[in-house]
Amino acid sequence: MDMSAEQLASVVTLKTSAPTGTGCIDKVLRALRTHLGMDVAFVSQFRTSDRVFVNVDTDGEGPIKPGDTLSLDVGYCLRVVEGELPELIADTAEYPVAMALPETQALPIGSHMSVPIYLSDGRLYGTFCCFGYSADNTLGHRDLLVMKVFAELIADRIEGDLTLVRDRVAKHRRISAVLAGAQPAIVYQPIFDFQDMTICGWECLSRFNIEPIRSPDQWFNEAADAGLGVELECHAIAAALKNMDALPSGTYLTLNCSPQLITSGRLIELLGLCPASRIVLEVTEHAIVNDYRTLLLALKPLRQIGVRIAIDDAGAGYASMRHILQLRPDMIKLDISLTQGIDHDPQKRAMASALIAFARETGSTIVAEGVETTSELEALRLLGANKVQGYLLGRPLTLQDALALALVERVAVICLESPIASSA
């Protein structure tokens, strides 16, 4: 029953290229059990006082199932690890210790192979076992060596899964701490109307003043990895909306929003009694949309109450074009990669001009983002953009600074409209 060179080569290939996960381990069990001609193969994990059968392979209804548990005192596994029974038993009748075990007769077990599974740090995880209902004297030392190769593969897969679990738990704890605290802080970047260069809206942006210090997108990506992506988005949006009444009533708030949050159905309740006409939901170029029909159905009741939809980062890639065509947004926000240097780049001007013409034909509003120079501002004005934001006009501001800016602008407008100013 020795494994051929070709079969050994396939084991090495599997060891180096198989994906992490329980599905890989199931394939390993099936491959070795079939090769050995045995009836049951399993991986058991040792715990404090029992072992759990994590993976089981057998034909038909077997004596054990994944998730079953047994005391460590029962069966062969611990006895093999402790040296009371050998790793290879071709015929259990030749071993009094094996014959004394109740399960030898009950299952029955006529042949048995078992090797320990050790993790890279030396910890004993459990065992990899195969047994047959009948004795099999063709089993030999080379079969045991092959089984040990498979055990190493299984250990690699298990360790990968454990690392993923530990990483996920760590991410979950970090995001849970954010949700429990006063994070993220919300800053407001002013958006100006090109017609009179007054503030018409504010983009609400998240800032995380907590360790580890990193960009907001990394925090939101980690939240998604931890299964808390929608929770963190809701948390950030609620923080932004809390200050809506403090900002000038004639301005709107734009809120970054993932397709997952939109289709979750939680936005209607989250928006509550906020004036819907002051809310714009931004879907970014980087948001993956697998089902536009479902997304459109979820957006319908929001649009019916007056919420507007914007496509962010337009021009940054192909996805934004698909978003625009499928979602028919109220606003199209030109990406910074398109607006920066547009004053001296004819290709950027051509692309922006095409998007502006498209928006004009479809009734959408164009917002130019990332404007940092007066020449860029003038180029976008000449092209026909409707609104603009960027460091040239205003950086993201705390609520206090945003209110101060709005007050200064209001005073300036009042002065311009006053009779004294008019007569002058």
Of the candidates 267, 243, 242, 272, the residue with the CA atom closest to the CA atom of residue 256: 267
The answer to which of 152-161, 193-202, 209-218, 378-387 has the lowest mean pLDDT is 152-161
DSSP, collapsed to helix, strand or coil, labels residue 101 as: coil
Cis peptide before 184 (omega within 30 of 0): yes
Please state, in angstroms and rounded to a whole number, the distance separating the CA atoms of residues 213 and 144: 51
Average pLDDT estimate for 279-307: 91
The answer to which of 133-142, 210-219, 267-276, 316-325 has the lowest mean pLDDT is 316-325
DSSP class of 384: T
CA atoms within 13 A of residue 140's CA, in its CB half-sphere: 5
The CA-atom distances, in angstroms, between 391 and each of 6, 31, 329 are: 64, 61, 25
Judged against a pLDDT cut of 90, whether residue 230 lies above it is answered with yes
Judged against a pLDDT cut of 70, whether residue 412 lies above it is answered with no
Judged against a pLDDT cut of 60, whether residue 99 lies above it is answered with yes
Instruction: Report the predicted TM-score, pTM, of the whole model to 2 decimal places.
Output: 0.70
At residue 416, the pLDDT reads 58
- List the structure tokens of 422: 């008019």
Judged against a pLDDT cut of 80, whether residue 15 lies above it is answered with no
Homologous superfamily of domain range 5-164: GAF domain (3.30.450.40)
Average pLDDT estimate for 11-26: 51
Average pLDDT estimate for 54-72: 91
Residue 391 or 9, more confident: 391
- List the structure tokens of 236: 């950030």
Q: Which fold has domain 168-423?
A: TIM Barrel (3.20.20)
Q: What is the DSSP string of 48-67?
A: SSEEEEEEEEESSS-S--TT
Hey, what amino acid is at 318? Y
Domains of the chain, residue spans? 5-164, 168-423
Average pLDDT, whole number, for the chain?
88
Judged against a pLDDT cut of 90, whether residue 19 lies above it is answered with no
Please state, in angstroms and rounded to a whole number, the distance separating the CA atoms of residues 148 and 230: 44
- For residue 401, the tally of other CB atoms under 10 A from its CB is 14
- pLDDT classification of 289: cutoffs 50, 70, 90: confident
CA 394 to chain centroid, in Å, comes to 32
